[in-house]
Chain A
Amino acid sequence: MTSFFNTTVGLPYGWAWFIATIVGILAIALPLMLAVAMIIYADRKIWAAMALRRGPNVIGPFGLLQSFADGLKVFLQETIIPSAANKGLFLIAPIITFTVALIVWAVVPFQAGVVLADINVGLLYVLAASSLGVYGIILAGWASNSKYPFYSALRAAAQMVSYEVAIGFILISVVLWSGTFNLSGIVMAQKGVLNTPINGFFLNPLLFPMAIMFLISSLAETQRAPFDLTEAESELVAGYQTEYSSMSFALYWLGEYANVILMCVLNATLFWGGWLPPLDWAPLYAVPGIIWLFAKMMFFFFVFSWIKATVPRYRYDQLMRLGWKIFLPVSLFWVFLVSGVLMWMRVGFGS
């Protein structure tokens, strides 16, 4: 796009790059906001269908405009700041959550060559940005100066930090197998995996357990059910969002769902072939890659909703046990296993 502004419009290179980047950011962020609105609707519909209810069906055809009506409602409400709150941090916290949820999308490849920042440390960037997400929650809990948000913030912080460790090791085995940290490179490495006509690391028997563990860890990382202890309404009112109202509350919602969509996309990108079609067969490449990615993302979102509708909530000690005593040792062992197998395949025994 930079070359379009540079040569066709005739701007100097610096300005062309600047405008192209801004356009790129808007082209990702605006559809993402629309996607968040629709995905909240989809979540409620799927959840309702599994509970044999109808879900939102009043506003617009099939209730499609429900999320927009909700958005309008929170936008028109008054922003209430508790008098005992730490005002600056109280207002910054939702902004951090929302911003962090958006910046990760810079490195997500939507199609061959269609990515805002094709950096060689893409996966590390994803980890770095997702590790920032915890601040929005801790700060909200502390700045609210209220006990339930504080408990919730402590839970959220412990949960996110512990599952990030496991996610880090899981990603290392993917990186070892694909030989690059660049997300587009990882997608391309999944083409026709193990000399079969199927695209995606999930087919690799060594990486399949990692795919399952990554799915579970991504549920924990985004605080979706069954790991939604931070918002356990029977214990903590509404968790860290209890004191928030109006747009500051809405920013949490948007950020949370943007993170959920991101995790769905990462699941698809890292293990299930990303924008590659499921089969390495020429006619399937005629369909644009973004449609394949979108289909895979929708599938994972359905799995997320399905789990939310069917699985009861974990107890907190079970959550911590799963993270530290099961996922961490298994994923650490798997790093050794995968690197050992790769050494054997590429170098061989001896020497």
Chain B
Amino acid sequence: MIQAIAFYLFAFVVILSGALTIASRNPVHSVMWLILAFFNAAGLMVLVGAEFIAMLLVIVYVGAVAVLFLFVVMMLDIDFAELRAGVARYAGIGLAVAVALAAEVMIAVGAWSAGKIDLTRRVAPVDPAMPNIQAIGTLLYTRYVFIFEAAGFVLLVAMIGAIVLTHRERSGSRFQNVARQNARRPQDATRNVQPPVGQGVQL
């Protein structure tokens, strides 16, 4: 019973916070609702026994991606009137996407409940006694190792591309030369003098 209560709690909060992500007027509040949605989705993952995915969801999305979102959104200077003016213009496209997604979910649920898909017959069988970190690791590094590495390369290329696109030489700015700073010693920078009374120090 506690699983059912937890499931409905998490599912309700995911849907509610998803709706509020769209509905809230303040973009920072939107990001906060999005984070709550991620967090509760992680809770749902724990319930189905995928604790590794749940933890990764929290570490990657909540801990890193959403922080960057929040950073950007906080520093934006947002004109709320202008934002709301765009709603009517994009309503058509938004509605089309929503309908398409809803149709996909219905087709998937319909196909599943028609009973033609055997979810237990997997391409790569998994030993049920294995903890799921081990199971995922075994599959990723044996059967799917090339696809996994290809995914790594795609991400690497994307990262390099982002750096190349945004990188520009700045000529006017001054940089800290850390090696020079570390190499500096007190005896090079200071001088011990005992000036006679009434006379200053020659700099």
The residues of A with any CB-CB pair to B shorter than 8 Å are: 14, 86, 89, 119-121, 124-125, 127-128, 131-132, 134-135, 138-139, 142, 154, 157, 161, 164, 168, 181, 317-318, 321
Q: Is the CB of A128 within 8 A of B176?
A: no
Q: Is the CB of B70 within 8 A of A138?
A: yes
- Contacts A14-B2, A138-B67, A161-B64 given; indicate if A181 touches B133 (C-beta within 8 A): yes
Contacts of A154 in B (CB 8 A): 71
Bound-state CA distance A121–B58 (Å) is 13
Return the CB mask of B3-24 against A: 1 if under 8 Å, else 0: 0000000000000000000000
Sorting the interface of chain B by its residue count into under 10, 10 to 19, 20 to 34 or 35 or more gives 20 to 34
Closest Cβ–Cβ distance, residue A217 to chain B (whole Å): 15
Return the CB mask of B59-94 against A: 1 if under 8 Å, else 0: 100111001001100100000000000000000000
Contacts of A127 in B (CB 8 A): 55, 59, 63
Q: Is the CB of B67 within 8 A of A142?
A: no
Q: Is the CB of A120 within 8 A of B51?
A: yes
Q: Is the CB of A121 within 8 A of B133?
A: yes
Bound-state CA distance A135–B61 (Å) is 13
Contacts of A318 in B (CB 8 A): 178
Bound-state CA distance A139–B74 (Å) is 10
Main secondary structure of the interface of A (DSSP, over half): helix
The contact of A134 among B2, B32, B67, by CB within 8 Å, is B67
- Contacts A14-B2, A157-B71 given; indicate if A131 touches B63 (C-beta within 8 A): yes
> What residue of chain A has the Cβ atom nearest to residue B66's Cβ?
A135
Q: Is the CB of B56 closer than 8 A to any CB of chain A?
A: yes
Closest Cβ–Cβ distance, residue B89 to chain A (whole Å): 29
> What residue of chain B has the Cβ atom nearest to residue A130's Cβ?
B63
Q: Is the CB of B197 closer than 8 A to any CB of chain A?
A: no
Q: Is the CB of A132 within 8 A of B62?
A: yes
Bound-state CA distance A14–B70 (Å) is 40
Q: Is the CB of B28 closer than 8 A to any CB of chain A?
A: yes
Contacts of A142 in B (CB 8 A): 28, 74
Closest Cβ–Cβ distance, residue A154 to chain B (whole Å): 7
Q: Is the CB of B62 within 8 A of A131?
A: yes
Bound-state CA distance A131–B59 (Å) is 6
Q: Is the CB of A124 within 8 A of B55?
A: yes
Q: Is the CB of A317 within 8 A of B176?
A: yes
Contacts of B55 in A (CB 8 A): 121, 124-125, 127-128
- Contacts A134-B67, A157-B67 given; indicate if A119 touches B51 (C-beta within 8 A): yes
- Contacts A121-B51, A131-B64, A157-B71 given; indicate if A321 touches B133 (C-beta within 8 A): no
Closest Cβ–Cβ distance, residue A349 to chain B (whole Å): 19
Bound-state CA distance A131–B60 (Å) is 9
> What residue of chain B has the Cβ atom nearest to residue A153's Cβ?
B74
Contacts of A120 in B (CB 8 A): 51, 131, 133
The contact of A89 among B2, B28, B52, by CB within 8 Å, is B28
Bound-state CA distance A307–B21 (Å) is 43
Closest Cβ–Cβ distance, residue A62 to chain B (whole Å): 40
Q: Is the CB of B183 closer than 8 A to any CB of chain A?
A: no
Bound-state CA distance A150–B55 (Å) is 29
> What residue of chain B has the Cβ atom nearest to residue A123's Cβ?
B55
Q: Is the CB of B59 within 8 A of A128?
A: yes
Bound-state CA distance A168–B59 (Å) is 10
